[in-house]
Amino acid sequence: MTLPHQTPKPYVTTGMGNVNSFSRRTASVHICKKDGKDRILHMVPMYDLKREYLADRQRYLDLFDGVCTDAAFSDGKYVRAFESAFAARFGDGFFAAALGSGTDALFLTLTALDVGPGDEVIVPSATFTATPGAVKMTGARPVFADCDPDTWQIDPAHVSSLITGRTKAAIGVHLYGNPFDAPALRRITDAAGIPLIEDCAQSFGAELNGVRTGCFGAAACFSFYPTKNLGAFGEGGAVLSRDRALAERVGFLKKHAKTEDGDHPVLGYNMRMSGLQGAFLCRKLEGTDAFLARKRAIAGQYLAAVGDSPVLVPQALVPGSLPSYHLFVLKTDDREAFRRFMADRGVETAVQYPVPCHLQGVFADGSRLPVTEELFRRAVSVPIYPYLTDAETASVADALQAYCRERQ
């Protein structure tokens, strides 16, 4: 599968058709007032999953037919093929266990590392609730770390101050698809004698100093939720590790911890990937480099549009980062004004995480994390995915630039 490069003429590539035609088939609308009259705008959507399917529809239908013909619905040969292909992307010596979701990946990794009641696991508050939620599922307590004010990534110095005799692990999240400072955090966790787990739910395809995210910790946990850079047609996840025994332990636990002779020596779980998702993900894995290149090109246009304006501030990168841009997030002082401005120019926006994890009812422990709290008050994202057309990308960039000029 290939994706086109940025070009002012319509995209025409093998297996994709005319990408610029998708906006006409899958458009959403927004009604705004202009000169006292209703005006209908065709919106640039935050994400449109139909476009990717339509671009390669017959191949996916063929895969569906193959899985059904083979009746390989649960785990099975298509999942094993994906596990092999996925692990190989990271180099020799890696092992993968495919699972039902990214949350399964976090939970089973922690379980395989014997995290349980009475233990503490350090996590960033600037993340999706699945990260601390998986800790809580084991019976352990999530301990929240603040983030860096520029990169918005987990602050290694704060992590160091939170380690106690009860700390069993630390989880770093590559937030929004940009790498956290994994080497710095690894030095801290190694000194404390605890494993570092990478939450790569958003960072498939990102690199730090030429090393792919997922290669820095004892294990890495991936999500294949449909909107991710490698997205399933439903739910999916995986654990990646150089530790074969750890990966095999996860693989054992995901299938009810059943031995070959039918015994269940420990409590296991039903957290397998379906055969359909294994087949679809194998197909999509082939096109991820082109997807990532396209997203980076779009991000480059947005970064050029906002420049060094203090009105819209993008996420700073840890030196040596090659981001994957799962999301393109900006900080702004008046988020609602920005969202209205963009909507009136035909661009959807989103607030992914309205409330930091440490302030949510299920996790609230009285802690205050001022950097994270300030970020979550101001953060807002704009559309970035490979099947945005040239015209849509230009519309978003022009609107960003116009907002900076108006508010400067």
pLDDT, tens digit, 9 for 90 and up, residues 343-369: 999 999 999 999 999 999 999 989 999
pLDDT at 223 over 60: yes
pLDDT exceeds cutoff 90 at 261: yes
The whole-model pTM stands at: 0.91
Lowest-confidence pick of 106-110, 117-121, 301-305, 365-369? 365-369
- The pLDDT score that the predictor gives to residue 390 is 96
> Per residue in 166-184, pLDDT tens?
999 999 999 999 999 999 9
- Residue of 246, 217, 265, 260 lying closest to 111 (CA atoms): 246
- What's residue 255's pLDDT? 96
- Alpha helices (H) along 226-328: 244-253, 275-285, 288-306
CA distance 15 to 58: 9
Residue 222: what residue type?
F
Q: Which pLDDT belongs to residue 8? A: 29
- What residues contact residue 21 under an 8 Å CB cut-off, 6+ apart? 10
Give the residue among 36, 126, 46 at the shortest CA–CA distance from 339: 46
Q: What 8-state DSSP symbol labels residue 153?
A: S
**CA–CA dist 403, 408 (Å, integer):** 8
How much is the mean pLDDT over the chain? 92
| Mean of pLDDT values over 200-220 | 98
Distance of CA 264 to the CA centre of its chain: 34
Residue 301, token pair as written in the block: 């246009």
Rounded CA separation 311/283 (Å): 41
Question: Mean pLDDT over residues 218-226, rounded?
Answer: 98
Mean pLDDT of 189-194: 98
Which of the four pLDDT bands, split at 50, 70 and 90, describes residue 50? very high
pLDDT score for 9:
30
Residue 2 predicted with pLDDT over 50: no
pLDDT band at 40 (very low <50, low <70, confident <90, very high): low
Question: Residue 20: pLDDT above 50?
Answer: no
Phi, psi (rounded to 5 degrees) for 139: 95, -5
Cα–Cα distance for residue pair 398/138, rounded to 1 Å: 47
42: pLDDT confidence band, cut at 50, 70 and 90? confident
Q: Give yes or no for residue 249 having a pLDDT over 90.
A: yes
**Taking a C-beta distance cutoff of 8 angstroms, is the pair 286, 220 a contact?**
no
Q: Which residues are bridge partners to 121 per DSSP?
A: 142, 169
Task: Return the pLDDT at 16.
Answer: 33
pLDDT tens across 70-112, in order? 999 999 999 999 999 999 999 999 999 999 999 999 999 999 9
pLDDT at residue 72 in the model: 96
For residue 164, pLDDT over 90 is answered with: yes
404/384 Cα distance (integer angstroms): 19
Q: Which domains does the chain have, with CATH numbers?
A: 12-47+288-407 (3.90.1150.10), 57-285 (3.40.640.10)
